[in-house]
Structure 1
Amino acid sequence: MEFGVFEDPARDIYEEFLERYEQQYYAAGLDDAFDADLGGECEYALMDAVLFNDGTEVVIAPDMLDKILSLFSPQSENGEILREHLQECRPDYVERPVP
């Protein structure tokens, strides 16, 4: 048995997000909007990345939005905030379950 190694879906999604969008966020001047190192919480860094990219050229792909939303229950306060925000700002987006 190996100790100290555990699955962290939020960290995995965060790392994929950085891989796909980090340069776009830097170019848009939003480099601190998704810094998990400051707060230590990948979920909240991803939430901020969604909430603070309005009015920029950065468009988060639907599959990535699905992954981010999968971290937040629809009944949770943050889940409600994110989903309401996306309804207003991304009416084209339709949430799909992540396998």
Structure 2
Amino acid sequence: MTSSPALRYLTPKDTDVKLPRQIHVKNKTPAPIQITAEQLLREARVHQDSVIRPPNQKINDQIELNEYRLRKRKHFEDLIRRNRWNVSVWVKYAEWEDSQQDFERARSV
């Protein structure tokens, strides 16, 4: 028997539900010390690193250096597009261009 959208009835195959395999627990005795969800979250917050540091990058050749500079410029230009009136972004961008020894571009920024 097949299902037909015109007749609008379902076959047993259409309504068959597959349940996940049941997991068998060997030790069902309660733990001697019960821990609440709040305690778990508090402990995770204590052990969390407060500062996320980006990985150190090693640039091996001129192609990678150019790609890095393009990515960095795009990052600054996106920041400027979002925060056009934020002067500190403009200053950081100009300082970065200065550190790259691109003085003409730093002056234009």
Higher relative contact order, structure no. (Cα contacts within 8 Å, ≥ 6 residues apart): 1
For normalisation by structure 2, the TM-score amounts to 0.27
For normalisation by structure 1, the TM-score amounts to 0.29
Q: Which has the larger radius of gyration?
A: 2
